[in-house]
Structure 1
Amino acid sequence: MRSPNRAALAALIAEATVDCYNDSGCVTGFYTMLDEHLELPFQTSSLGTEVTVSGIDLADEHIVVICARGRSRQRIPILDLPLPTPPPAGAQWIEAYRHWLRYVRA
């Protein structure tokens, strides 16, 4: 899967933020889209270690992923999550959220 182009990102952002009145509402909109569309679990690497991304959550108005390795669990900001190749289904929502934070929200 290739990264979505700007027009595709704009369409995803518009869908996630359609009824939002502030940044908090927009983050919740993206969380909802990720919860509905991101295929979990998936494997990726964090700090050179293979981990399983087993879930997503909201923490202090930021979206985080729950990474697991054995019995250990850690929450990582979704912005810092390296995506595997190929990325999981629904990863375009992560790209849209990143784009919104960098360019639209700024």
Structure 2
Amino acid sequence: MKRKLLAFAIGTALVTVLAACGGGTDTSQNGGAQAGDPQKIVSQKCSTCHGGNLEGSVGPNLQKIGSKYSKDEILNIIKNGKGGMPAGVISGKDAEKVAEWLAAKK
């Protein structure tokens, strides 16, 4: 009984984290409200794991990520994932704008 409960709890936590860090579509291709506003994109798609002020939570602190990674390196992480971050949370032009915005955070 304890094993089943533990497996259920771990499964639920995993689904919650993956759902919070991903989902949605690339709104830059379908005219959504997010297109062009990297701060809003990050707020809606990344804050669950990286915190509302990018201070870190489940994911790392991103407040000065531009001093560690270039725009291209950040874009690569967004596209391909890294560590516990899933690939493709943001895509297309939205990903490029977010990478540029984050790269300026030094």
Structure-2-length-normalised TM-score? 0.33
Structure-1-length-normalised TM-score? 0.33
Asked which structure has the greater CA Rg, the reply is 2
